[in-house]
Chain A
């Protein structure tokens, strides 16, 4: 490679210096003269009517500036938090979209629902006063789970959503699927729960609102993955602030995992309140608030059936899923269990007929939306667990049944029966790379050795394919998206040859400041130190769509390439003029512009200087300057895919599962920075393992109280819970429709890992006749499963 910090180089993250030395600039670090602090009064009930709010005592507390309620917002005509995606039910009716006010007006619908906000000189004073706000509640019966929501005579979360149903949607060919089942030699069936998870970003959500009385401009500094979308939604739908008077800044953000994509009520509250009290207003969630109010993830209850012929060829897949959306529709909630889930149900397999039904329901729990993987881990888990069951039904090896049903490389591009068209992928190759890594032939011996030590050993495979870089806008629009899904970039050369890149993507841990700079350094042959990446400020960057769905490089990187193309085209014209040659004779390589066949050449720096000091410049043809902007709207999703293999050992005396080894083979297309990619895979795997073995968000079904509201009860995976990972990737199948050939790597680990771990756990328990266990495979659940399978042992 020409540039030591160019594409493919394992450059250490440039942002880590400031993060690791405590110099990051997070929302809560921002301080303003005269700043006030907001604390929300939140509902202790899952479902209650607000009969009255008495805040006279609170308002009289020391340091209190204001106590504001939903009635104040209503008086100011503040709107409902909008939903960014509309789904239509089977019968063509639009989903139920009940209002979701930043401060509840007449009813609260989950524990943590905001009722009032106290604004005071200090945070402690605001907390003191918030405790003095007396809310008169009439408690109502609550719905703490999706299954309870659809049980007959369940209480209604919203009066205008009968049976608590938001939508009842389907995808695929029901008739073809039924016909295939009618002729099937074998049918594998499974009932499973994909449990609810709490995102747990290291940095809690925070927001600071400011209002400039002289200019009439608002500024919201917030923990957002996509500040432009927040500006659009909050400005246009909630607060009625025109976009040229509203600036949204998302500075350093300490992790999002999806939970910071959405526009939250607190952002609107602080922005609105800043004008009301005439001072900046800051709110920072404490960890308890994060547990209660960050949008949660997953929460599916599914039944699935796979029809096969006598040889184990998949004929058809039938899936029925009940999805819990929580109390209100979070920004992109409706799209997750539909277009990001059911469309992935083909997985890596050439199953010819698929039919999926998804019923999404309201419950008295925190809203559920995208969480790392967002629909795709749910799809992968369902398919891969079902394929393992299917292998048992037809008596085939678990790798062979997969291999037999893979979409072959030669079939690409491949149209699935559930709307997507895969562009590339060599699924057999992933498996071929993985098998030697885990010494599959030696597994039975390792299992025997474990057994000799009184332990149970299991191996689990999971193959996955995901759709990333959600796109194109026109297709997404047809499917109900109320936003575009392009990305923007601006490449601004400065007179002395350094570059500032403005990207609409947002980094909250992904390392854009490094990866994006590598792409620029490579293209123009300049040191990476000369490239600055700017993101997260709507006053600096063109309208961008932010970062989620593993889209930054595939979409934002492509926009960057388009902008660099424009820069290069213009630079070429300038070079031709300066070198007194025809433009067609200029050859460009690594930022050097050479007259073909001569030693006459210019570097991009020389050209940049001339562009800004145009003493010798074709002013009749070209404007001065070297600053170009581009928007890129993808032609298709990208399709990262891979094969994950997990080996576990279970201690039957305690039920503890230990992950002995984990190998991940991934196809991310071309890789810009292998170090960052490996880090993303590691983090993703740990999150997937977390779901499989540890994490579980539990609400009391009847009271709707959050049982796992702290780390004392919500179990996060820790460093000593996971093994040293074996991570491999290949670049043989680059994406065919974006200029970098990249696919995305941010969610892959999470998508594949949970299924691989659970397949290994079930494999380890196969001697006990176990064919399925719901996540998380906690020690007690595993121990109980073993005990119940062997009454003789339990009696011992």
Chain B
């Protein structure tokens, strides 16, 4: 790890000022950033720890769903009675992130701002009609993830919270990378009345919606409705663990499993 200046502001305003420093980085739960620093793959001048800012914390029920503070750790989402009652699929997704240590440290804001192509939360943000609130504006979940490790966030913009709409039915099904246990493919299926959203993470550079699946499920919300449907392998990720056509196949398998789990 290279030397850096550690800062721990207690207000969002102070954090917003601190992050203006050149080469400063925001620190959430540190589950990606700290290993990167330890391997000397990043060299920030300043780390702005967001852990002492009350405005970034807490889980609230809203009119149509939930609002979760950016500095809410995965374990808090997983174990929250409120989340389990309003959107149980989201609690279940959180309980499946990484391992216990990761869940006790990692935060929702950190996860979505990092936009790892194999992270779990992006699928929920998109499938649950999420809205990302920052210190500057609101960004629709559909517009938030713009590419591999890329988001709509501007330099120095800080995620405050994420709002999720409450679905009638929803479930997340994930196929883990056997080594890292990140999602090789994760599919979040959510049904809102006649509308169905199917958001896929892990398979491509960024989360995407499987629109053909959505149409089929909107007509018939059963796993069988997806028989014969698939996503195009072209453009999907490929590595030593999973080729693009295997990922494409898994998207269909996981989508069916999510529909079954959603009931």
Contacts and interface: CB of A to CB of B under 8 A. Distances in A.
Contacts of B241: 713, 778, 780
Contacts, number: 41
Interface in A123-148: 124, 127-128, 131
Interface stretch (A15-23, A351-359, A569-577, A704-712): A704-712
A694 B253 contact: no
A780 B242 contact: yes
A131 B239 CA distance: 29
Contacts of B243: 780
What band does the interface of chain B fall in when counting residues whose beta carbon is under 8 Å from A? 10 to 19
Contact of B249 (A694, A711, A716, A783): A783
Given A127-B40, A713-B179, A698 B246 contact: no
A654 B180 contact: no
B192 interface: no
A195 to B, nearest CB: 13
A783 B250 CA distance: 10
B249 A712 contact: no
A535 to B, nearest CB: 34
A694 B178 contact: yes
B178 A708 contact: no
Contact of A714 (B179, B227, B246, B250): B179
Contacts of B227: 796
A707 B240 contact: yes
A105 interface: no
Contacts of A796: 227-228
With a 10 A CB-CB cut-off, give which of B39, B246, B250, B253 has the most chain A CB atoms: B246
A288 B35 CA distance: 12
A778 B178 contact: yes
B72 to A, nearest CB: 26
Interface string B234-263: 000001111100100110010000000000
Nearest to B252: A653
A784 to B, nearest CB: 7
A779 interface: yes
Contacts of B239: 713
What band does the interface of chain A fall in when counting residues whose beta carbon is under 8 Å from B? 20 to 34
Contacts of A712: 179-180
Contact of A713 (B1, B180, B228, B249): B180
B246 A713 contact: no
A176 to B, nearest CB: 44
Interface string A679-694: 0000000000000001
Given A698-B240, A780-B246, A711 B180 contact: yes
Contacts of B228: 796
Contact of A711 (B2, B39, B40, B179): B179
Contacts of B2: 128
Interface in B167-202: 175, 178-180
A713 B240 contact: yes
A611 B213 CA distance: 87
B5 to A, nearest CB: 16
Contacts of A654: 175, 250, 253
Contact of A779 (B39, B178, B240): B178
Interface of A: 124, 127-128, 131, 288, 653-654, 694, 698, 707-708, 711-716, 778-780, 783-784, 796
Given A715-B179, A779-B242, 14 more contacts: A127-B40, A128-B2, A694-B179, A707-B240, A708-B240, A711-B180, A712-B180, A713-B180, A779-B178, A780-B241, A780-B246, A783-B249, A784-B246, A796-B227
9 contacts: A131-B40, A653-B253, A654-B175, A654-B250, A654-B253, A698-B240, A711-B179, A780-B241, A780-B246
Interface of B: 1-2, 39-40, 175, 178-180, 227-228, 239-243, 246, 249-250, 253
